A and B are shown apart, each in its own frame.
Chain A
Amino acid sequence: MSGELWKQPLEKLAPAIRAGKVSPVALTEVCLDRIANAGARLDSFIHVSPHALDAARVAEREIKAGKWRGPLHGIPIGVKDNYLTEDMPTTAGSTAPGLSFPLRDSTAAATLRKAGAVLIGKTRTHEFAWGNVTPPVCNPWDLTRVPSGSSGGSGAAVSAGLCVAALGSDTGGSIRMPAAACGTVGLKATFGRVSRDGIVPHSWSLDHAGPLTRTVADSALMMQVLAGYDAADSACQAQPVPDYSKALDRSVRGLTIGVCRNHFFDNLQEDVEGAVEKAIADLAAAGAQVHELRIPLLEYGLGAIFAIELSSSTAYHDASLRAGRVPYYQPDVRMLVEMGRLVTGPDYLKAEQYRSALMEAYRKVFETVDVVIGPTTPITAWKRGEWTVQIAGKPESVLAASWRFTYPYNLTGLPAISVPCGFDRDGLPIGLQIAGRPFDETTVLRVAHAYERDHDWKDRWPQL
């Protein structure tokens, strides 16, 4: 295999490992070395597994013996620190006293192990996945900037080649936002597609699981293993799992791409808008029909997601509130958890009514289009410690701005991917978001792959 091992995507590593051309032990050693050296300043891992090399040795022996388990066999994968793991501690990003999480594998971690993956360590999360900064993690493209969050550790680690892929969780955009900010691919699958069993809850009906990867094909390979029914997650659905890689080589010809001109194009940074408009034009040039549309109901989404997310999170943390642990949370998370008490029951249910209405609005949209595309975020990675950004000359809080385009797909549960679509004038990555019908990850991946194939963004690496 030519080129540096850590720059190789899963799609190339998997056949090379199967053929004995790449050693899982050597690959794991390279990743561990990068975590300890080139990636040390990123601080993207909270825990590096002391068992990773042993797991790689086992994988190598099995593969040599002809017992190849599939594309993830022998592949080093990072696990977000809100997924329970039996051989690594889980903190959910919190140092509050009196909290502990069981040493047992979440369904996703167990599934990856069964597929032969090497769980190389736990990537940092914003505390309880409740934020978009993920301190102290730095963005590989500019160490003075945030990786976004809450899966910021996973985004930074994959972007810098510290692991081949990583798990993330997404309640309002927490897979897609760091994917956009760090220049990786991030897929939030349909609600019910990937088990959330053993993920520390944030907001039960908004939480989604999914992978962060270097390429769209890698995302398809990760999804092939992660997708499926799990009775331990009450939201999981027993839907058939298609072959996600099969449709990747099809072009966008014959597909109709929806561009929602309200909400998703309001108040964008100029470079983000330019890159996304260019991506739309490129997809049209590649044969897709472009259909412009509006979803007026989106205007009410922010109140709805706040009502659901705040009240759910506060319900989860209720025992900690009563036990006096919440004052030990980070100030931003403490504020949100205390604030959830202010959301009334009728407000919560109104938000759930709104969700039904929004899902119906999207159902009608998907009668005409196959996917809806737009920017993943209106802004690129912002400076650490900065809480307000200037967008088109107006100040906006990063909390409000960063998830504006991602949370509609948590409210609706629709699958949505972020794929790199360029860089801004400061050299920071920009994300293109592609959303699809429920359980139609295949079309989402197909469009993302068709776009990715025609551009070289995935071949650019941050200088560390």
Chain B
Amino acid sequence: MNAILAVARRDLLMVMRRKSEVLTALFFFVIVTSLFPLGIGPEPTLLRKIAPGVLWVAALLATMLGLQRMFAADHADGTLEQMAISPTPLVMLVVGKIGAHWLVSGLPLVLVAPVLGIQFDLDGSALGVLVVALLLGTPLLSLIGSIGAALTLGVRGGGVLLSLLVLPLFIPALIFGAGAVEAHISGLGAGGHLSLLAAMLALAVFFAPWATTAALRIALE
């Protein structure tokens, strides 16, 4: 547990020393979502209908931006190898890194999403559901994304390849995340969607760090 926290703190510290990376992803999220009303038109009913999907797709893409950096710098300067041979299991360190990635690129999206939701004319309770769905969904994106990030480590054309590998795997999160808000707006209740999202998160918390560790070991061979 100490190791997880230590790695997470280290990663957060490194990010804080270079804040532009966090802010880039955040502003990307804000700008992309703001583009949709401009492209589609300012009609409130239409905007309310597309809001969950737009916000979620933008969140997926914003998460993708930071994914490549999750292991790249540590791989380049050899830190990752030191981590792999340290007495602490690599899985623990990977969990720490994923946690740090989520705090840096997932949590800000969750916090800024209600503001963007207001732009799309969502009411208060729908905003609440949106925040809960993103709170459950963005860690899932970081977890699944970490597998792709580890696999494409040091690979030619890694960035494009990463999106090709990871985006199809994001689809369930997108469906239930956006679906929760839509179900709430249409009066069906978001409980089912949120439960499924939470179930997938539990599954991913268990399996994804393990797969990521396997992928990292392959990359380090």
Whether chain B is bound by chain A comes out as no
Chain B residues in the interface with A (C-beta under 8 A): none
